[in-house]
Structure 1
Amino acid sequence: MPDKYDVLIVGAGVAGSSLAHALATAPRPSSSPSLRIAVLERSLDEPDRIVGELMQPGGVIALKKLGLESVLENIDAAKVKGYCVCDAGKIVEIPYPGGHEGRSFHHGRLIMNLRAAVRRAPGVDLIEGTVTDLIEENSRVTGVRAILKGAEEKRPFYASLVVVADGCYSNFRSSVSAIKPTTKSHFVGAILEDAVLPIPNHGTVALIKGSGPVLLYQISEHDTRILIDVKQPIPADLKAHILANIAPLLPASVQLPVKIALEKDRLRRMPNSYLPSAPQGRASSKPGVVLIGDSWNMRHPLTGGGMTVALSDIVLLRSHLASVPDLSDWRAVSRVLNQWCRDRKPLASTVNILSVALYDLFGADAPELEVLRTGCFKYFERGGECVNGPVSILSALAPSPALLTYHFFSVAFYSIWVMFTHPRPIPGPPHAEPRYAAARVDEYPFLLIRSVRVFYTACIVFGPLLWMEMFAHSGPGRGALLGAGVVLAVAVGGAVYSDSYATLLR
């Protein structure tokens, strides 16, 4: 007789493990029995990945809400108190507001703690086996087939609700959703030994002219992760490329550890993908199955928001699913899934939009984007709300698309102001002392034309992301929602224009 569960989760990573624990420990309606949950994972050995190692303060808060804060203990996790951004030898500190802290760690150690918590949760079976396909009956997903460790034949598992949480390389995403991820670049990763970061307990973002950004953050007492953004086409000799074009432009304190790591460690790559979330709980959704985590929604890992979005999603999904007495009632499940997709938008959309937009600025490969990147760095140098606002958004402490829109276009207007007023390098002979000069009055007509192009570039970077995250797939009422969004954008744009220029001209 095949096993029958209430919930069957494919994947025991951050999302799958956290959801299993959340559903097993959530209060149920008094008339409903406790849930029986199965989690199927291809390998229960400790995973070894180069991403999923930095958790923003918003993610730490979500773990506490799920009763899982203990998973950050005894894994030699490092405290993260903010960021520092390095550009051409200049450094600006961006601390988290209000004393909030994130954590960074070896990914595999966190996963093993999460799986240990799953094993302790009531009514949960953690099973090692490879899921091969979904079982469908009358167009509804009713379970999966899996080959368990040590076995040769497929075995069916049935459930009222199947949850797919098998990560960025999901084998089942295409069976549930038609939306596919797009990949702009790859992160190339290595571990530095006993490296000294420019500001202790701060993630470091190094802006490299002509290349993508480089991330550095401590993941244990002696280990520091470096992630180097490499765009397509990927150089044939990555180590030579990094040594010649990247390492010399990094902060001086990490250049030697980088060279040593390149000699000792193998370089590994991970795609930097963007996957907007598909609607769930709609008539177009496949009955009986739900996507969560990176199998459903991905953003650029530059801002370290992946785990934070997944955990925040699970905090909301737990309360919604716990309110359904019978998970085999797909109509009731659909209603709460539809509501869940709406409730998650403020945080998820804010983090997702910021990650891709910030990457486009920091990985500038066009003159207008370089203007925006320079303006962004100088915007951070102003301190005050020019730092507190953006880092509150990045850390998922202020999940507000309107606040993100405000600061993004404040950066755009400030970038134009910088272009007119701040000294810029003057080309000269090689190895000569750099000279700087502000724009001359006779250059203003050209700069005015360029200002229009810079603002247009900002709009085409931000606008499609805002549409995709907030309005696309919005269902029958999306016209009204879009109208409200346009009104909001105009209102915010006007506020940005007046407030930014009033501030700049003081």
Structure 2
Amino acid sequence: MWSKSYDVVIVGAGVAGSALAHALSSFSSTRPSPLRIALLERSLAEPDRIVGELLQPGGVAALRALGMESCLDDIDAVPVHGYCVVEGGANVHIPYPEGHEGRSFHHGRFIQRLRAKARAAPGVDVIEATVSELIECQFTGRVLGVQATRKDADGEKETFYADLVVIADGCFSNFRSTVMGAAAAKADVRGHFVGAILEDAVLPIPQHGTVALVKGFGPVLLYQIAEHDTRILIDVKNPLPSDLKKHILSNILPQLPSALHLPIENALAKERLRRMPNSFLPPVEQGNRHTKEGAILLGDAWNMRHPLTGGGMTVAFNDTLLLARELVTVGDLGDWSAVSRVLHHWHWARKPLAATINVLSIALYDLFGADDEYLAALRTGCFKYFERGGECVNGPVSLLSGITPDPVLLFNHFFAVAFYSLWIMFTHPRDVWLPNADKPIRAVPRFDEYPGLVIKSFRVVSCVSTSPHPNANAGLEFWTAVIVFAPLLWSELKWW
């Protein structure tokens, strides 16, 4: 059995792992002895995934700060200038603030560029090897390194020792529960995104992510990832239909813009549908008593949010940037007390951006994906709020895109939307069915309907302010509205 020693071993050469390897090398250049880093990846072939293809403006900024913005070049990446929300034939335009731009691309091409950047960094060894286990001290339980098998080693295992092991092996992490315990490692799977690539599809607003709301089913997300390729992701709740293609053709396709029908039919006829779980995993503070000594979790191995808003890579790059800057200040990475202090500071320094994006991802999924009359009232108010333009659009999209990581701004806009929804409910026309009528008429609520609307208003606000789940109890009292997104915020702020 062979063995080799490093300062840091990183398991997983994906988004977070590759970025961290490059950042640690770059930021440690001023140290008396630059760090020696091993980046281990089971397969260095170009990955083929249906998520991780949209980078928000905040993520582009973090990538630039990492010195890796060139990874967006020469991969046929497409500029992204905002969102378009489609419901019932109506479009709501939600542009990014002027001067800000995201990018969308084929995931595999981007990953290969990140890996190449890491490989070129001084002191970084990129190794194609499958990590089978963490090596722990039999007396203290501290992680001392990993055991892995190189691709061309005929099954012979090799030991990679390190002062610090970083686990960045993605949403299906093999070592998450080992590092932070089985209970804390359990993700909440909210359903699945089923994905395909459409050829030469025409989106309602070019170079904008499109969120189509489908009555009775989850949202559909579309964004262009190359000159001729557009990704479609269809939310499917558990349990999954036995025939996914039939479900899409019968229930989803008729409610989407007609320009998308033929590209979707063509894609379903010739392409194998793939799916990814939509998981929510709140971040557990690491270090000291919270997680296993000598190891750190990073990226989706540690913290996941719903992919509807495309915030995962933005959080990952920002986390990596902050963590790398902190770690290079530690003189001895084998000093777990010093590393723990860094981890504590990092955990809370990342909160403004990470908590904002995490909370929004679940809240917007519940708002867009739930078939509930109270959430429907809030959704209507949300669209009307965006239609006001100005700060009613700039504020929310700045939060969503990672441009303005400000939980206070999130608080303000949440309640602004909630109470504006109530104003809409009392003052705007809605469909009313008259006896023996063939179709509804549009009418403003009458005064004698106000008592019922008052009761409904309590339920509308309490429904979304106290639970992240689409089937929340809508009968909770109004006072619970002051606890803004309580379960989601608690998952971000609680101590373990």
TM-score bracket for the superposition, by shorter chain length: over 0.9
Q: 1:148 aligns with which of 147, 150, 167?
A: 150
Q: Which amino acid in structure 1 is aligned with residue 151 of structure 2? A: K
- 1:338 equivalent among 327, 339, 344: 344
- Which amino acid counterpart does residue 110 of structure 1 have in structure 2? F
Which structure dedicates a bigger proportion of its chain to helix? 1
1:130 aligns with 2:152: no
Find 1:465's aligned residue among 485, 488, 492. Answer: 488
> By how many angstroms is 1:325 displaced?
1.4
Report the Cα offset of residue 437 of structure 1.
1.6
Q: Deviations over 1:374-395 (max 9, x none)?
A: 1111111111111000000001
Deviations 1:333-392 (A, max 9, x none): 111111111100111000000000010100112221111111111111111111000000
Alignment of 1:67-466 (within 5 A): 67-137=67-137, 138-150=140-152, 151-178=154-181, 179=184, 180-427=186-433, 435-461=441-467, 462-466=485-489
TM-superposition CA deviations, 1:415-467 (whole Å, max 9, x none): 11111111112347999565322212211111111111111112113121112
Indicate conservation of the 8 Å contact 1:189/1:269, yes or no: yes
Unpaired segments of 5 or more residues in structure 1? 476-506
| Rounded Cα–Cα distance in structure 1 between residues aligned with 2:313 and 2:29 | 26
Alpha-carbon distance between aligned partners in 1 of 2:214 and 2:18, rounded to the nearest angstrom: 37
Asked whether the 8 Å contact 1:28–1:323 carries over to 2, the reply is no
CA contact 1:96–1:388 (8 Å) conserved in 2: yes
| Residue of structure 1 in register with 2:21 after alignment | 20
CA distance, structure 2, for counterparts of residue 299 and residue 148 of structure 1: 32
Note the C-alpha offset of 1:285.
2.4
Indicate how the Cα distance of structure 1 residues 459 and 148 shifts in structure 2: closer, same or farther if over 3 A, else same: same
Distance 1:152 1:430 in 2: 76
In structure 2, the residue corresponding to 1:76 is in which secondary structure?
Answer: coil
SS of equivalent residue, structure 1 residue 270: strand
Amino acid at match of 1:347: L
| Partners of 2:78 and 2:227 within 8 A in 1 | yes
Which residue identity does 1:4 align to in structure 2?
S
Distance in 2 between the 1:161 and 1:216 partners?
A: 40
The secondary structure found in structure 2 opposite 1:47 is: coil
Offset of residue 283 of structure 1: 2.7
Amino acid at match of 1:72: L
Contact conserved, 1:198 with 1:204, CA < 8 A, in 2?
yes
Task: Give 2:472's aligned residue.
Answer: none
Partner SS, residue 5 of structure 1: strand
Opposite residue 46 of structure 1, the aligned amino acid is E
| Contact 1:28 1:322 (C-alpha < 8 Å) held by counterparts | no
Q: Give the TM-score of the pair, scaled to structure 1.
A: 0.91
User: 1:153: Cα distance to partner?
Assistant: 2.5
Deviation at 1:91, TM superposition (A): 0.6
Instruction: Give the letter for the 2:402 counterpart.
Output: A
User: Aligned partners of 1:115, 1:229: CA distance in 2, in Å?
Assistant: 30
Q: SS in structure 2 opposite 1:406?
A: helix
- One-letter amino acid matched to 2:47: P
8 Å CA contact 1:29, 1:325 repeated in 2 = no
Aligned to 2:477: none
- Once the two structures are superposed, what CA deviation does each residue of 1:31-72 show, in whole Å capped at 9, x if it has no partner? x31111001101010000000000000000001001000100
- Aligned partner letter, 1:162: V
Looking at structure 1, the residues matched to 28 and 439 of structure 2 have their Cα atoms a distance apart, in angstroms, of 68
Partners of 2:356 and 2:312 in 1: how far apart?
12
1:56 is aligned to 56
Does the 8 Å contact 1:55/1:102 carry over to 2?
Answer: yes
1:58 & 1:171 partners in 2: Cα distance? 29
SS of 2:98's equivalent in the other structure is: helix
Question: Contact 1:409/1:458 (CA < 8 Å) preserved in 2?
Answer: no
Matched residue of 1:201: which SS? coil
Whether the 8 Å contact between 2:28 and 2:35 is mirrored in structure 1 is no
RMSD: 1.5
Where structure 2 has 5 or more consecutive residues not aligned to the other structure, the ranges are: 468-484
Q: Give, as a single letter, the amino acid of the residue that structure 2 aligns with 1:73.
A: D
Counterpart position of 1:10: 11
**AA partner of residue 494 (structure 2):** A
Distance (whole Å) between structure 2 residues aligned to residue 29 and residue 332 of structure 1? 19
Q: Give the distance between the partners of 1:430 and 1:447, measured in 2 at CA.
A: 25
Instruction: Name the amino acid aligned to 1:64.
Output: R
1:148-187 per-residue CA deviation (whole Å, 9 max, x = no partner) reads: 1022132211000000000000000000113121011110
Deviations 1:245-298 (A, max 9, x none): 111111222122111111111111100000000111233321100000000000
- The count of aligned residue pairs is 472
Q: CA deviation at 1:98?
A: 2.4
Between the aligned residues of both structures, percent identity stands at: 64
Q: Partners of 1:189 and 1:15 in 2: how far apart?
A: 23
